[in-house]
Structure 1
Protein backbone atom coordinates (compact mmCIF):
# COMPACT_ATOMS: atom_id res chain seq x y z
CA UNK A 1 0.00 0.00 0.00
CA UNK A 2 1.32 3.44 -0.89
CA UNK A 3 1.95 5.92 1.91
CA UNK A 4 1.20 9.65 1.87
CA UNK A 5 2.79 11.72 4.63
CA UNK A 6 1.06 14.96 5.62
CA UNK A 7 0.87 17.62 8.28
CA UNK A 8 -2.68 18.42 9.43
CA UNK A 9 -4.07 21.31 11.47
CA UNK A 10 -6.65 21.17 14.23
CA UNK A 11 -8.15 24.67 14.19
CA UNK A 12 -10.97 25.47 16.62
CA UNK A 13 -12.94 28.68 17.04
CA UNK A 14 -14.29 30.14 20.29
CA UNK A 15 -17.46 28.02 19.93
CA UNK A 16 -15.27 24.88 19.76
CA UNK A 17 -16.16 24.34 16.12
CA UNK A 18 -13.59 22.65 13.90
CA UNK A 19 -12.37 24.27 10.67
CA UNK A 20 -12.48 21.87 7.71
CA UNK A 21 -11.80 22.28 4.01
CA UNK A 22 -12.71 20.37 0.88
CA UNK A 23 -10.24 20.41 -1.96
CA UNK A 24 -11.39 20.88 -5.54
CA UNK A 25 -12.72 17.73 -7.24
CA UNK A 26 -13.04 15.81 -3.96
CA UNK A 27 -15.97 15.09 -1.68
CA UNK A 28 -14.45 14.68 1.79
CA UNK A 29 -13.94 17.50 4.26
CA UNK A 30 -10.63 17.37 6.11
CA UNK A 31 -8.10 19.30 8.13
CA UNK A 32 -6.19 22.13 6.55
CA UNK A 33 -2.78 20.72 5.67
CA UNK A 34 -0.91 18.81 3.05
CA UNK A 35 1.98 16.70 1.91
CA UNK A 36 5.49 17.21 3.23
CA UNK A 37 7.96 18.41 0.62
CA UNK A 38 11.45 16.95 0.36
CA UNK A 39 13.53 17.73 3.48
CA UNK A 40 10.67 19.71 5.00
CA UNK A 41 9.80 19.28 8.68
CA UNK A 42 6.10 18.68 9.45
CA UNK A 43 5.98 21.99 11.37
CA UNK A 44 7.20 23.86 8.28
CA UNK A 45 4.66 22.03 6.12
CA UNK A 46 1.91 22.98 8.55
CA UNK A 47 2.66 26.71 8.45
CA UNK A 48 3.17 26.71 4.64
CA UNK A 49 -0.04 24.80 3.91
CA UNK A 50 -2.15 27.02 6.18
CA UNK A 51 -0.79 30.06 4.38
CA UNK A 52 -1.43 28.49 0.94
CA UNK A 53 -4.87 27.03 1.64
CA UNK A 54 -6.56 29.61 3.88
CA UNK A 55 -4.35 32.72 3.49
CA UNK A 56 -3.46 33.28 7.14
CA UNK A 57 -0.46 33.03 9.40
CA UNK A 58 -0.72 30.37 12.07
CA UNK A 59 0.99 29.57 15.32
CA UNK A 60 1.46 25.97 16.39
CA UNK A 61 0.02 25.48 19.88
CA UNK A 62 0.94 21.85 20.35
CA UNK A 63 1.88 18.63 18.59
CA UNK A 64 -1.03 16.22 19.01
CA UNK A 65 0.59 13.14 17.51
CA UNK A 66 1.48 10.98 14.54
CA UNK A 67 -1.42 8.90 13.26
CA UNK A 68 -2.08 6.37 10.52
CA UNK A 69 -5.44 6.15 8.74
CA UNK A 70 -6.69 5.49 5.24
CA UNK A 71 -6.39 8.41 2.84
CA UNK A 72 -9.68 10.12 2.02
CA UNK A 73 -9.22 10.88 -1.67
CA UNK A 74 -6.57 8.41 -2.86
CA UNK A 75 -7.77 4.81 -3.01
CA UNK A 76 -5.46 2.17 -1.51
CA UNK A 77 -3.26 4.76 0.19
CA UNK A 78 -2.23 4.83 3.81
CA UNK A 79 -2.09 8.31 5.34
CA UNK A 80 0.58 9.15 7.90
CA UNK A 81 -0.38 12.43 9.56
CA UNK A 82 1.52 14.72 11.88
CA UNK A 83 -1.31 16.54 13.62
CA UNK A 84 -0.95 19.92 15.31
CA UNK A 85 -3.31 22.19 17.15
CA UNK A 86 -2.85 25.67 15.71
CA UNK A 87 -4.24 29.16 16.21
CA UNK A 88 -4.81 31.68 13.43
CA UNK A 89 -4.00 35.38 13.49
CA UNK A 90 -7.10 36.35 11.47
CA UNK A 91 -10.22 34.80 9.91
CA UNK A 92 -9.40 32.18 7.25
CA UNK A 93 -10.23 32.64 3.56
CA UNK A 94 -10.32 30.02 0.82
CA UNK A 95 -7.23 29.97 -1.39
CA UNK A 96 -5.19 27.60 -3.61
CA UNK A 97 -6.88 24.26 -4.31
CA UNK A 98 -9.70 24.68 -1.77
CA UNK A 99 -13.26 24.42 -3.08
CA UNK A 100 -15.11 24.86 0.20
CA UNK A 101 -14.38 25.69 3.83
CA UNK A 102 -16.61 25.43 6.88
CA UNK A 103 -16.72 25.30 10.65
CA UNK A 104 -18.45 22.17 11.96
CA UNK A 105 -19.75 21.23 15.38
CA UNK A 106 -17.92 18.28 16.93
CA UNK A 107 -21.13 16.22 16.83
CA UNK A 108 -21.84 17.03 13.14
CA UNK A 109 -23.09 13.89 11.39
CA UNK A 110 -24.11 15.50 8.09
CA UNK A 111 -20.68 16.33 6.68
CA UNK A 112 -18.70 13.75 4.70
CA UNK A 113 -15.49 13.55 6.73
CA UNK A 114 -12.05 12.21 5.89
CA UNK A 115 -10.96 9.18 7.98
CA UNK A 116 -8.37 11.23 9.88
CA UNK A 117 -10.99 13.82 10.86
CA UNK A 118 -13.59 11.26 11.88
CA UNK A 119 -11.36 8.68 13.60
CA UNK A 120 -8.66 10.84 15.21
CA UNK A 121 -9.31 14.59 15.24
CA UNK A 122 -12.91 14.80 16.43
CA UNK A 123 -12.44 12.24 19.25
CA UNK A 124 -9.29 14.12 20.32
CA UNK A 125 -11.17 17.44 20.34
CA UNK A 126 -14.02 15.98 22.37
CA UNK A 127 -11.57 14.60 24.94
CA UNK A 128 -9.22 17.56 25.19
CA UNK A 129 -11.14 20.72 24.40
CA UNK A 130 -14.73 20.66 25.60
Structure 2
Protein backbone atom coordinates (compact mmCIF):
# COMPACT_ATOMS: atom_id res chain seq x y z
CA UNK A 1 0.00 0.00 0.00
CA UNK A 2 1.30 3.46 -0.92
CA UNK A 3 1.46 6.31 1.57
CA UNK A 4 0.99 10.05 1.11
CA UNK A 5 2.01 12.61 3.73
CA UNK A 6 0.14 15.91 3.77
CA UNK A 7 -0.41 18.98 5.89
CA UNK A 8 -3.88 20.55 6.08
CA UNK A 9 -5.72 23.31 7.87
CA UNK A 10 -9.00 23.43 9.76
CA UNK A 11 -10.33 26.90 8.96
CA UNK A 12 -13.50 27.92 10.79
CA UNK A 13 -15.87 30.83 10.23
CA UNK A 14 -17.56 32.87 12.97
CA UNK A 15 -20.37 30.28 13.15
CA UNK A 16 -17.95 27.37 13.67
CA UNK A 17 -18.33 25.91 10.19
CA UNK A 18 -15.26 24.27 8.63
CA UNK A 19 -13.99 25.13 5.16
CA UNK A 20 -13.64 22.15 2.81
CA UNK A 21 -12.44 21.99 -0.77
CA UNK A 22 -13.03 19.67 -3.72
CA UNK A 23 -10.30 19.25 -6.28
CA UNK A 24 -11.13 19.35 -9.99
CA UNK A 25 -12.04 15.89 -11.29
CA UNK A 26 -12.79 14.43 -7.84
CA UNK A 27 -15.93 14.00 -5.73
CA UNK A 28 -14.68 14.13 -2.12
CA UNK A 29 -14.51 17.29 -0.04
CA UNK A 30 -11.41 17.62 2.15
CA UNK A 31 -9.48 20.14 4.17
CA UNK A 32 -7.35 22.61 2.21
CA UNK A 33 -3.67 21.70 2.17
CA UNK A 34 -1.35 19.32 0.40
CA UNK A 35 2.04 17.69 0.19
CA UNK A 36 5.22 19.28 1.51
CA UNK A 37 7.89 20.25 -0.98
CA UNK A 38 11.47 19.16 -0.30
CA UNK A 39 12.81 20.79 2.85
CA UNK A 40 9.53 22.47 3.83
CA UNK A 41 8.30 22.55 7.41
CA UNK A 42 4.62 21.88 8.10
CA UNK A 43 3.89 25.58 8.59
CA UNK A 44 5.73 26.66 5.44
CA UNK A 45 3.92 24.01 3.39
CA UNK A 46 0.54 24.87 4.91
CA UNK A 47 1.05 28.57 4.25
CA UNK A 48 2.03 27.91 0.62
CA UNK A 49 -0.84 25.48 0.01
CA UNK A 50 -3.48 27.80 1.50
CA UNK A 51 -2.23 30.63 -0.71
CA UNK A 52 -2.23 28.45 -3.82
CA UNK A 53 -5.57 26.71 -3.21
CA UNK A 54 -7.78 29.33 -1.57
CA UNK A 55 -5.87 32.62 -1.82
CA UNK A 56 -5.59 33.16 1.94
CA UNK A 57 -2.61 34.09 4.11
CA UNK A 58 -1.88 31.89 7.12
CA UNK A 59 -1.87 33.94 10.35
CA UNK A 60 -1.61 31.22 13.03
CA UNK A 61 -1.59 27.42 13.11
CA UNK A 62 -1.97 25.18 16.16
CA UNK A 63 -1.31 21.46 15.73
CA UNK A 64 -4.51 19.44 16.21
CA UNK A 65 -2.84 16.09 15.58
CA UNK A 66 -1.44 13.68 13.03
CA UNK A 67 -3.98 11.20 11.69
CA UNK A 68 -4.23 8.56 8.98
CA UNK A 69 -7.00 7.11 6.84
CA UNK A 70 -7.55 5.68 3.36
CA UNK A 71 -6.81 8.30 0.69
CA UNK A 72 -9.90 9.86 -0.86
CA UNK A 73 -8.71 9.91 -4.47
CA UNK A 74 -5.92 7.32 -4.78
CA UNK A 75 -6.78 3.61 -4.54
CA UNK A 76 -4.57 1.38 -2.39
CA UNK A 77 -3.13 4.47 -0.69
CA UNK A 78 -3.13 5.67 2.90
CA UNK A 79 -2.89 9.36 3.74
CA UNK A 80 -1.04 10.62 6.81
CA UNK A 81 -2.09 14.16 7.66
CA UNK A 82 -0.58 16.69 10.04
CA UNK A 83 -3.67 18.76 10.79
CA UNK A 84 -3.59 22.32 12.12
CA UNK A 85 -6.26 24.64 13.48
CA UNK A 86 -5.57 27.56 11.17
CA UNK A 87 -6.47 31.23 11.26
CA UNK A 88 -6.22 32.96 7.90
CA UNK A 89 -6.56 36.42 6.42
CA UNK A 90 -8.47 37.02 3.20
CA UNK A 91 -11.60 35.63 1.65
CA UNK A 92 -11.35 32.02 0.52
CA UNK A 93 -11.81 31.49 -3.22
CA UNK A 94 -11.29 28.37 -5.36
CA UNK A 95 -7.89 28.60 -7.08
CA UNK A 96 -5.42 26.28 -8.82
CA UNK A 97 -6.80 22.70 -8.80
CA UNK A 98 -9.69 23.55 -6.46
CA UNK A 99 -13.07 23.41 -8.18
CA UNK A 100 -15.42 24.03 -5.26
CA UNK A 101 -15.46 25.32 -1.68
CA UNK A 102 -18.02 24.18 0.88
CA UNK A 103 -18.44 25.34 4.48
CA UNK A 104 -19.73 22.48 6.62
CA UNK A 105 -21.12 22.23 10.14
CA UNK A 106 -18.92 19.62 11.86
CA UNK A 107 -21.84 18.54 14.07
CA UNK A 108 -24.12 17.81 11.10
CA UNK A 109 -22.13 17.54 7.86
CA UNK A 110 -24.09 17.68 4.59
CA UNK A 111 -24.81 14.64 2.45
CA UNK A 112 -21.74 15.02 0.27
CA UNK A 113 -18.75 12.71 -0.01
CA UNK A 114 -16.11 13.65 2.56
CA UNK A 115 -12.51 12.46 2.53
CA UNK A 116 -12.06 9.64 5.07
CA UNK A 117 -9.38 11.58 6.98
CA UNK A 118 -11.81 14.47 7.50
CA UNK A 119 -14.86 12.33 8.20
CA UNK A 120 -13.31 9.64 10.41
CA UNK A 121 -10.52 11.48 12.21
CA UNK A 122 -10.83 15.28 12.18
CA UNK A 123 -14.58 15.95 12.51
CA UNK A 124 -14.96 13.65 15.54
CA UNK A 125 -12.20 15.56 17.33
CA UNK A 126 -13.77 18.91 16.52
CA UNK A 127 -17.16 17.86 17.88
CA UNK A 128 -15.85 16.04 21.00
CA UNK A 129 -15.33 19.28 22.92
Match in the other structure for 2:121: 120
Provide runs of 4+ in structure 1 moved above 2 Å.
none
| Cα distance in structure 2, aligned partners of 1:62 and 1:78 | 24
- Unaligned runs of at least 5 residues, structure 2: none
Cα RMSD, aligned residues only: 1.0
* Distance of 2:67 and 2:44 partners within structure 1: 18
Matched residue pairs, number?
Answer: 128
Distance in 2 between the 1:92 and 1:70 partners?
Answer: 27
Q: Which position in structure 1 is the counterpart of 2:69?
A: 69
1: CA distance between counterparts of 2:61 and 2:52?
Answer: 19
Give the match for residue 10 of structure 2: 10
Q: Does the aligned pair in 1 maintain the 2:33–2:49 contact within 8 Å?
A: yes
Equivalent position of 2:86 in the other structure: 86
* Distance in structure 2 (CA, Å) of the matches to 1:108 and 1:53: 22
Following the alignment from structure 2 to structure 1, what is the Cα–Cα distance between the partners of residues 110 and 49? 27
Q: Deviations over 1:37-84 (max 9, x none)?
A: 111111111110000000010123310111111110000011010000
TM-score of the aligned structures, taking structure 2 as reference length: 0.95
TM-score, reference length from structure 1 = 0.94
